[in-house]
Every structure is written in C-alpha cells, then in structure tokens.
Amino acid sequence: MHRTQFRRAIAGTSSLPPDLSAWLLDLEAAFLARPSPRKRLHDPAFQDRSLSTV
C-alpha cells in the first residue's frame, strides 16, 4: 500500500481496501484476546480504543 493511501485512510478521507480492513480487524481481535503479559496500563497506546472506531 502506498503511504499516501494509508495516511488518507488514517485521516478518514478515504477507506482501506476491504481485504486489508478485515485483516486489520482480525489482528486487533487476536491482540485483544491475548494481550501482552507486560502491558503497561498507563501507556496511551493501550488505552481502550478500537480500530473499528478509527
């Protein structure tokens, strides 16, 4: 994927291809199902956010 396409998807001005979007949602689900045992509770990267809301 071209970085411009990715940047626009993150900005919300375009969307990801359906196959990539589905893969990212599956990856998110797997990560949430088996989080790191060394998860830092106050790290902003681990705050309660979902890719499906981005």
Report the half-sphere exposure of 27 (CA within 13 A, side-chain side): 7
Per-residue pLDDT at 37: 76
Amino acid (one-letter) located at 12: G
pLDDT tens digits, 3-50: 998 899 889 899 888 998 899 899 989 988 887 777 666 777 666 655
* Interatomic CA distance for residues 33 and 10, integer angstroms: 24
* Interatomic CA distance for residues 34 and 7, integer angstroms: 28
Amino acid (one-letter) located at 44: P
Per-residue pLDDT at 50: 57
